[in-house]
Amino acid sequence: MGERILTGIKPTGQLTLGNYIAVLKNLRKMMDRGECFIFIADLHALTLPIEPETLRQNSIDLAAFYLAAGLDPERSALFLQSSISAHAELNAIMQNYLYMGELSRMTQFKDKSSRMKENAIGLGLFSYPVLMACDIVLYDANTVPVGEDQVQHIELTRDLVNRFNNRYGKILTVPKASVTKVGKRIMSLSNPLTKMSKSDPKGDIFLKDEPMVIRKKIMSAVTDTGSEVKFDAVNKPGISNLLSIYCAMKDITIKEAEKLFVGYRYGEFKKVVADVVIEELAPFQERYRKILADKSYETALKEGAEKASKIANETLKRVKKAVGLLTID
Ligand code: ATP
Ligand code: MG
Determine the pLDDT at residue 1.
63
Instruction: Note whether residue 187 is domain-resident.
Output: no
- Cα–Cα distance between 7 and 179 in angstroms, integer? 12
Which tens digit of pLDDT belongs to each residue from 2-14?
A: 899 999 999 999 9
* Domain co-membership, 117 together with 8: yes
C-alpha of residue 214 to centroid of ligand 2, in Å: 22
* Domain co-membership, 124 together with 233: no
* Domain co-membership, 265 together with 315: no
Phi, psi for 193 (deg, rounded to 5): -100, -5
Adjacent-strand bridge partners of 79: 39
Instruction: Note whether residue 199 is domain-resident.
Output: no
pLDDT at 284 over 90: yes
Which tens digit of pLDDT belongs to each residue from 15-60?
A: 999 999 999 999 999 999 999 999 999 999 999 999 999 999 999 9
Contact 23, 36 (CB under 8 A): no
* Domain co-membership, 67 together with 46: yes
271 is catalytic: no
Instruction: Report residue 328's pLDDT band, with 50, 70 and 90 as the boundaries.
Output: confident
* Eight-state DSSP code of residue 204: P
For residue 152, which ligand has an atom nearest its CA? 1
Contact 174, 142 (CB under 8 A): yes
Q: Which amino acid is at 54?
A: T
- Cα–Cα distance between 314 and 139 in angstroms, integer? 9
For the chain, state the CA radius of gyration: 21
Ligand 1, pocket-test mutation among 19, 42, 184, most atoms within 8 A of CB: 19
- Cα–Cα distance between 37 and 73 in angstroms, integer? 10
- Cα–Cα distance between 316 and 311 in angstroms, integer? 9
Instruction: Report residue 199's pLDDT band, with 50, 70 and 90 as the boundaries.
Output: confident
Instruction: Note whether residue 40 is domain-resident.
Output: yes
Give the chain's mean pLDDT.
96
Mean pLDDT of 172-183: 95
Determine the pLDDT at residue 150.
97
State the distance between the two ends of the chain, measured CA to CA, in whole angstroms.
27
Catalytic residue among 25, 184, 198, 236: 198
Instruction: Note whether residue 10 is domain-resident.
Output: yes
CATH number at residue 234: 1.10.240.10
Determine the pLDDT at residue 107.
97
* Domain co-membership, 21 together with 139: yes
Q: Which long-range contacts (CB under 8 A, 24 or more apart) does 160-165 make?
A: 160/94, 160/97, 160/98, 160/133, 161/133, 161/137, 163/97, 164/94, 164/97
Please tell me whether residue 139 adopts helix, strand or coil conformation: coil
pLDDT at 202 over 90: no
* Domain co-membership, 129 together with 235: no
Please tell me whether residue 8 adopts helix, strand or coil conformation: strand
Instruction: Report residue 327's pLDDT band, with 50, 70 and 90 as the boundaries.
Output: confident
307 is catalytic: no
- Cα–Cα distance between 260 and 146 in angstroms, integer? 28
Instruction: Note whether residue 148 is domain-resident.
Output: yes
311: containing domain: 4-182+295-323
Q: pLDDT: is 201 or 318 the higher one?
A: 318
Ligand 1, pocket-test mutation among 113, 197, 240, 247, most atoms within 8 A of CB: 197
Instruction: Note whether residue 37 is domain-resident.
Output: yes
Determine the pLDDT at residue 42.
98
Starting at the earlier edge strand, list the strands of the sheet with 143-145. 76-80, 35-40, 4-9, 143-145, 176-178
* Domain co-membership, 152 together with 246: no
For residue 6, which ligand has an atom nearest its CA? 1
Cβ count near 303 (within 10 Å): 15
Please tell me whether residue 325 adopts helix, strand or coil conformation: coil
Which tens digit of pLDDT belongs to each residue from 60-94?
A: 999 999 999 999 999 999 999 999 999 999 999 99
Catalytic residue among 10, 184, 195, 236: 195
Nearest atom of ligand 1 to the alpha carbon of 108: 4
Mean pLDDT of 273-295: 98
What pTM did the predictor assign? 0.96
Instruction: Note whether residue 329 is domain-resident.
Output: no
Sequence-distant (≥ 6) Cβ neighbours of residue 274 within 8 angstroms: 214, 215, 218, 219
Instruction: Note whether residue 81 is domain-resident.
Output: yes
Determine the pLDDT at residue 236.
96
Number of structural domains in the chain? 2
Q: pLDDT: is 122 or 328 the higher one?
A: 122
pLDDT at 203 over 90: no
CATH number at residue 98: 3.40.50.620
* Domain co-membership, 154 together with 253: no
Nearest atom of ligand 1 to the alpha carbon of 185: 28
pLDDT at 242 over 80: yes
Mean pLDDT of 184-188: 96
Contact 123, 103 (CB under 8 A): no
* Domain co-membership, 68 together with 106: yes
Adjacent-strand bridge partners of 195: 187
208 is catalytic: no
Nearest atom of ligand 1 to the alpha carbon of 41: 10
Determine the pLDDT at residue 56.
98
- Cα–Cα distance between 209 and 215 in angstroms, integer? 10
